Amino acid sequence: MKIFSIVGARPQFIKLAPLSAALQKQHQEIIVHTGQHYDYAMSQKIFEDLGIREPDIHLETGGGNQTTQFTQMLSRLETAMTDKNPELVIVFGDTNSTLAGALVAAKLNIPILHIEAGLRSYNRAMPEEINRIVTDHVSKYLFAPTPTAINILQKEGLGDKSFLTGDIMVDTMANNIRIALQKSAVLNNLKLETADYSLLTLHRNYNVDDNTVLENLLNQLGNLSEKIIFPVHPRTRKMLSPAYKIPLNIQMIEPQGYLDFIALEHSAKRIITDSGGIQKEAYILKKPCITLRTETEWVETVEEKWNLLVNPTSKNIAEQIINFKTASGQQDIFGINVTVKMVGFINAIN
């Protein structure tokens, strides 16, 4: 089968890696990179770390404002799909690249497969929530990462198209964690000891787009006694004013490659984040996770007491973090050998 795998943002490259490695053995897979993320550290470095081959088509839509970028994605994807005639279009997650790929394929009547279907935060102020709902409803095949996602799809009348596959990020982690621990020099380079630091990431619009909110958050994290390693997303970097004096315990670093980042996660005392994927990785690595949001799509991690939601506007963030104790055991939320299941379903489409 001729398949388009459409990606554009960092977490999508991480989801693509194991699937692409398997798909290209049996199908004619064409990797399409929209260019949504374009810095070396946010894109090429992740491809290199994960051994993903160069994209076959690069749409070069990086930079510019969101609307320009999105409209360029639509028109360039239409040209690429009309030119190559894929029989299946695979989209991942919930970014603007996901929505663009799904909309164009839907208009051209090409079957769409959505990986990470059925996620909902029920917060329409997140651009990702709209992207997910629309993508799920125009797709022909929905690969759900968890039973919760399957239930949501059933409630929305999409049960017949839905398959419980597990979460593909489990496989990316399983394939790479040992390599990361052997190869990564990041702990040495940053002079860190295991469990003597917390790891922080922030990039959600409501946490970083208003620099008063962002700086208040960081000031509160300054009340923690441990060192905080903070790889700064480009969106967040743009919002921090040069005059802002970050608390002394927080060390800002560039966005990390995947191997260095999972090595940092693996040795951290705890992980503080507003990322979707990092909440899952914290669970998989059995790390306490503090999510600086009022809701999450990954409700199971909270129900199981491995993830604590902390309202980013609350006044006692450090106290809530210090008092959080995880459960001792874990269920199997995200599945295993997910790629094999996904490829099995895809082969059955053929």
Q: Which amino acid is at 9?
A: A
Does residue 261 touch ligand UDP according to CB under 6 A? Answer: yes
DSSP state, residue 256:
P
Given the rule CB under 6 A, which of 7-15, 18-26, 78-86, 153-161 is the region that contacts ligand UD1?
A: 7-15
Nearest distance in Å: CB 129, ligand UDP: 13
Of 7, 9, 17, 73, the residue at the interface with ligand UD1 (CB under 6 A) is 9
3-state class (DSSP) for residue 53: coil
Strands (E), the chain: 2-7, 28-33, 57-58, 88-92, 112-115, 141-144, 162-164, 197-201, 227-231, 250-253, 270-273, 289-291, 307-309
Please pick, from the candidates 180, 278, 292, 309, the single residue that binds ligand UDP as defined by CB under 6 A: 278
Closest CB to ligand UDP among residues 86, 166: 166
Which is nearest to 226 in space by CA: 212, 240, 247, 208?
A: 247
* Shortest distance, position 301 Cβ to ligand UDP, whole Å: 13
Work out whether 10 is an interface residue with ligand UDP (CB under 6 A): yes
CB of 349 to ligand UDP, least distance (A): 26
286 scored as a contact of ligand UD1 (CB under 6 A) = no
The answer to whether residues 164 and 144 touch, using CB atoms and an 8 Å cutoff, is: yes
Residue whose CB is less far from ligand UDP, 141 or 258: 258
DSSP three-state, residue 231: strand
**Applying CB under 6 A, does 30 fall inside the site for ligand UDP?**
no
Pick left, alpha or beta for residue 166 (phi over 0 → left; psi -120 to 50 → alpha; otherwise beta): left
Identify what 278 binds: ligand UD1, ligand UDP, none; CB under 5 to 8 Å per kind: ligand UDP
Cα dist from 332 to 196, 215, 280, whole Å: 28, 37, 12
- Determine contact, residues 168/342, Cβ cutoff 8 Å: yes
Work out whether 39 is an interface residue with ligand UD1 (CB under 6 A).
yes
Neighbours of 273 (CB within 10 A): 24
Shortest distance in whole angstroms from residue 99 CB to ligand UD1 = 8
Instruction: Please give the angle made by the CA atoms of 124, 98 and 281, to the nearest 5 degrees.
Output: 80
Query: What angle is formed at CA 232 by the lines to CA 231 and CA 236, rounded to 5 degrees?
Result: 160
- Could you tell me how many residues of this chain bind ligand UDP (CB under 6 A)? 16
Q: Please tell me whether residue 14 binds ligand UDP under the rule CB under 6 A.
A: yes
Cβ proximity to ligand UD1: between 94 and 300 the closer is 94
Nearest distance in Å: CB 95, ligand UD1: 3
Residues with active-site annotation: 203
Write out the residues near ligand UDP by the rule CB under 6 A: 10-11, 14, 46, 201, 231, 255-256, 258, 261-262, 275-278, 281
Write out the residues near ligand UD1 by the rule CB under 6 A: 9-11, 36-39, 42, 63, 66, 94-96, 127-128, 203, 234-235
